[in-house]
Amino acid sequence: MKKLLKGAKVLDPSQNLDGMRDILVVDGRIAEIKENIEISGAEVIDLSNYIITPGLIDIHAHFREPGYEYKEDIESGSMSAAAGGFTAVACMPNTKPPIDNSALIEYVKFRASQVGKAKVLPIGCVTKGQEGKEITEMGDMARAGAVAFSDDGKPVASSSLMRKAMVYAAMFDKVVIDHCEDPSLFEGGQMNEGRVSTLLGLAGIPAASEEIMVARDILLAKAMKVPIHIAHISTKGSVELIRKAKSEGVRVTCEVTPHHLTLTEEAVIGYDTNAKVNPPLRTQEDVDALLEGLKDGTIDAIATDHAPHHIDEKDLEFDQAAFGLVGLETALGVILTNVVGKNGISLNTGIQKMTIGPAKVLGLEMGTLKVGASADITVIDINREWIVDKDRFFSKGRNTPFHGLKLKGKAVMTIVDGNVTYSEIE
């Protein structure tokens, strides 16, 4: 059970490693990493002209199982993850029934073990049934394998309940991930509130809807001295609030999606429901602020918010269509093509936000190629040019605004615990 990966440039932000190295994998773990390894009895994989990074980690995706398997299931989601270069994916619990107990946590882990294409990390609900009324048995779910807690898709509107949940989760060294949205300001909204929503005659979602809840969560984290993670931030104001909180020592982390880093509300023109997401695509000023937040470390992770829907839920009048897009198979290409190189964002920064950055948010022993670590590895062809074709996705979802887009840079091999789960290399 030995593999020798030879001839690649190794980029590992967790070790400040950037150079030509060979990697020896033994029994699913990194056994050695140095120049010119020579060993007998190993399967040799020539990776000349490729880049090796720690396996990509997505801390915010929706695999829909149990209950919505017609949109996605753990098998199709895991295959989509592997094709996108992801070795681990944390799955949100807004399923049917919601993942709000230890039995469902164990179910997700079991199903993922049957598939084996990527590590699936279940996130448990904050409140029972996602109803925002009663905290779940977080301890039981943590012991069963929940990596975090969230009512994603529904904000925890009650500040009192949110405070208790944050403190309770911290007792088990877990973090609450909050979908920040003031329901009273969001109600009926379809896209960002502004010039384009007025032009299209669509109800708007103001930036304040997000920022009010970001500010609340920061204040709770500060007062209780516990961590909070803000999901998919989208506004300049959110970046500024989190930057200031971090400077004051508040234990707040946050993530941003590839689509919020690269698209604006203009993508909705023509009533394209594939660009209908929550939080909505914002303005160029917001995009610029998110890029700056990525560069200066305010933003800790890039997450896909992979949200597959059946075509019948998207091919509707705009106000009737579901929110969300699929992102696992396009995320790396979009980041390499449209984010790296902008605002001084380096390739190292881009990879850091998709590996060790998300691992640290959830306290995972992942995102590194250190000797002894699990051999979770992504191999990238940085020069591969390709066209996004939604009809070739492994995901059941086809809801992407990037269909037809030419990208440069692609994951061509994914290795999980030393096993190749996806490859485009002969």
Write the CB contacts of 237 (distance below 8 Å, at least 6 apart in sequence).
207, 208, 210, 211, 214
Per-residue pLDDT for 343 more than 90?
no
Catalytic residue among 182, 217, 305, 376: 305
DSSP single-letter state for residue 298: S
CA dist 263 and 272 (Å) reads 13
The tokens describing 207, both together, are 């930036």
Q: Where are the beta strands (DSSP E) in 190-300?
A: 191-192, 204-205, 228-230, 252-256
Q: How far is CA 29 from CA 15, 351, 419, in A?
A: 17, 21, 10
Span 118-141, mean pLDDT?
Answer: 97
Backbone angles phi, psi at 346, to 5 degrees: -85, 165
- Told to judge if 305 belongs to the known catalytic residues of this protein, a careful annotator would answer yes
Per-residue pLDDT for 197 more than 90?
yes
Domain ranges of the chain: 2-51+374-423, 55-362
Residue 159 has a pLDDT of 97
The tokens describing 127, both together, are 């409140």
Per-residue pLDDT for 153 more than 90?
no
In three-state secondary structure terms, 59 is strand
Per-residue pLDDT for 109 more than 90?
yes
Backbone angles phi, psi at 90, to 5 degrees: -90, 125
- Count other Cβ atoms within 10 Å, centred on residue 297: 13
Nearest-CA neighbor of 13 among 253, 358, 369?
A: 369
Per-residue pLDDT for 1 more than 90?
no
pLDDT digits (tens, 9 = 90+) for 368-417: 999 999 999 999 999 999 999 999 999 999 999 999 999 999 999 999 99
pTM: 0.97
CA dist 351 and 335 (Å) reads 9
In three-state secondary structure terms, 308 is coil
Q: Do domains 2-51+374-423 and 55-362 have the same CATH topology?
A: no
What dotted CATH number matches 55-362? 3.20.20.140
pLDDT digits (tens, 9 = 90+) for 92-103: 999 999 999 999
What CATH number matches the domain at 2-51+374-423, 2.30.40.10, 2.40.30.260, 3.40.50.300, 2.40.37.20?
2.30.40.10
Amino acid at position 234, single letter = S
CA dist 253 and 301 (Å) reads 8
In three-state secondary structure terms, 296 is helix
Span 223-244, mean pLDDT?
Answer: 98
